[in-house]
Amino acid sequence: MTDLSPAPEAAPVAATDARGRTAELHAIREQARRGPSERATEAQHAKGKLTARERIALLLDEGTFREVEPLRRHRATGFGLEAKRPHTDGVVTGWGTVHGRTVFVYAHDFRIFGGALGEAHATKIHKIMDMAIAAGAPLVSLNDGAGARIQEGVSALAGYGGIFQRNTRASGVIPQISVMLGPCAGGAAYSPALTDFVFMVRDTSQMFITGPDVVKAVTGEDITQNGLGGADVHAGTSGVSHFAYDDEETCLEEVRYLLSLLPQNNRENPPTVVTEDPADRRGDSLLDLVPADGNRPYDMRKVIEELVDDGEFLEVHERWAENIICALTRMDGQVVGIVANQPQSLAGVLDIHSSEKAARFVQMCDAFNIPIVTLLDVPGFLPGVDQEHGGIIRHGAKLLYAYCNATVPRVSVVLRKAYGGAYIVMDSQSIGADLTYAWPTNEIAVMGAEGAAGVIFRRQIAEADDPEAMRAHMVKEYKTELMHPYYAAERGLVDDVIDPAETREVLIRSLAMLRTKHADLPSRKHGNPPQ
């Protein structure tokens, strides 16, 4: 096996004057900047991966990176470590700007100790995390490391504990983004799991607690690293990753885009931009996009495109729990979070995964002062033994808790179906939505007419000469009495029934009015949300 570890360094020759000392400094800094060797850099590139500094250059605005502790070296001894003391100790830390706003960053350098975390390495990360919290600016971690540095023993494990503690302290205070660009195994995987967003790159990044060898030894299952914890697995099956991309360049560009939609911290509002998309633009195509027949599917993404500025939005967890859509976008230049049922997948029902996905997104929006728009077309919760035994009650309660606890502006629109408990959970007026609207195609009810008629008129249907004709009659009667579009409006359960073509304007005007909303929560240490 080729040894890519750095060679022992000769002590610098002491200079005798300021110019000599300065030249010596530049030489040492240049050596630290280049890394261990050209061979190590070539090996990194051969894997389809960039170096730590190349990644930072793609993430930050050109020429803005200011490194912290580039000359740090470990002090560990034993197992040959005393002969290998490269500068940076395998992690590059510092700050710069993204779209002109300050962002802190740390990037593992896989060329040095495989990016493994030792005491000095961890101390550098702790310091940059503390700086980000103190400055009130986002923190981006570029992860490409082999876990704890085994040669340093428990000191390395304690370093992870310090990272986890700071992740938790920063949660809801500054945006935290983890970018997975290589392996992340064992306890190291918990830091990304504690952050707000996780990005992964296909084929080159993996996350798992126990690797394929351990899995095979314990369970007998034979699986590859990507099959166990690759980008597609975590983006589509586990939900650990919010975004997955084919290459590092695209991935880091999307991180920059996400940062443009987030505030610096929880005391600020997201950045506003000037848009040429008129606030009063009509969406006449919406009248054709959404079928009046509640049993016909359609793509909710098309609806969102019609409502938001220039049809652009960033979907979070696009491939996981596809029966609900969570997206960050702008309306009239203001950042908005959208939660919407997706009738194209499982008819838009709520289930365990979609409840978790939406709850997490609502909490993130509330933490960072992002107003929430909810678009409802939900037939209820998904029935089934697996759902009940899997805890749909407590998982659905997570979404309910998140909405009830949110103090940001909240506006909901019922496009079509809104049945049962799912209607209540999806930010209904009764749980605190500031404004609720409905389209004339709305059906707000305890359940669908067919099911309701079968319960209420079961005896009449059973005793009728023509049960099917009686069922149809009773279904029609139930719809006429309790499911007409204005039933909820007549009782003040929605604020207005609106023309679908005017939805964009109505939402923008409503959000503008709510921009100065202030809400106080009860004095408490913290809530105890369902788990």
Q: Catalytic residue among 421, 432, 451, 454, which?
A: 421
Residues in the chain: 531
Q: For residue 376, which of 430, 438, 333 has the smallest C-alpha distance?
A: 438
State the virtual CA torsion across 434, 512, 357, 346 in degrees, nearest 10. 80
| Structure tokens that stand for 103 in this block | 């962002």
Distance CA 9, CA 11 (A): 6
402 touches 172 (CB < 8 A): no
- Containing H/E element for 46? helix 38-46
Distance CA 475, CA 280 (A): 39
| CA 259-202-181 angle, 5° bins | 55
Distance CA 37, CA 31 (A): 9
| CA 259-261-262 angle, 5° bins | 65
Distance CA 30, CA 87 (A): 10
Which residues have a Cβ under 8 Å from the Cβ of 495 and sit 6 or more positions away? 429, 435, 436, 437
Distance CA 281, CA 505 (A): 7
- Active site annotation includes 185: no
Its sign, for the CA torsion 18, 19, 22, 28, is: negative
State the virtual CA torsion across 163, 169, 170, 171 in degrees, nearest 10. 110
- Concatenating the DSSP letter of every residue in 262-274 gives S-SSTTSPPPP--
Which residues have a Cβ under 8 Å from the Cβ of 49 and sit 6 or more positions away? 110, 144, 181, 182, 204, 248
Distance CA 335, CA 257 (A): 12
- Active site annotation includes 229: no
138 touches 259 (CB < 8 A): yes
- Chain Cα centroid distance, residue 464: 54
- Active site annotation includes 421: yes
- Active site annotation includes 186: yes
Distance CA 328, CA 396 (A): 22
191 touches 142 (CB < 8 A): no
Q: Catalytic residue among 116, 235, 422, 489, which?
A: 422
Strand order in the sheet with 101-108: 66-68, 91-98, 101-108, 139-143, 176-180, 197-201, 243-245
Q: For residue 183, which of 115, 253, 126 has the smallest C-alpha distance?
A: 115
Q: For residue 142, which of 108, 186, 183 has the smallest C-alpha distance?
A: 108
Active site members: 186-187, 421-422
